[in-house]
């Protein structure tokens, strides 16, 4: 999936940038997808936001 590959590339770029500075660099990401053009945009945004916060919590447990 192109989106997951893009997110992985961003994570790798952030990890490389993090190695070059004393200031920690990180980013939590989340996304939502629907094939239904009538899907409520607000619900998609809420879903992506929830996934971002799940990712953020997972990152906190790792560090």
Q: Specify the number of domains making up the chain.
A: 1
* Angle of CA points 38, 10, 36, to nearest 5°: 10
- Residue whose pair of structure tokens reads 């939590």 in the numeric block: 28
- The confidence score (pLDDT) of residue 54 equals 94
Q: How confident is residue 61, by pLDDT bands cut at 50, 70 and 90?
A: confident
- Euclidean distance between CA atoms 9 and 35, whole angstroms: 24
Average pLDDT over residues 43-57: 94
Q: Is the pLDDT of residue 60 over 90?
A: no
| pLDDT digits 0-9 by tens, 4-40 | 899 999 999 999 999 999 999 989 999 998 898 888 9
Query: Would you say 51 and 30 are in contact if contact means Cβ atoms under 8 Å apart?
Result: yes
């Amino acid at each position: 999936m192109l989106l997951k590959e893009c997110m992985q590339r961003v994570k790798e770029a952030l990890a490389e940038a993090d190695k070059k500075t004393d200031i920690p660099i990180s980013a939590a990401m989340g996304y939502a997808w629907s094939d239904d053009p009538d899907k409520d945009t607000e619900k998609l945004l809420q879903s992506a936001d929830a996934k971002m916060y799940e990712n953020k919590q997972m990152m906190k447990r790792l560090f």
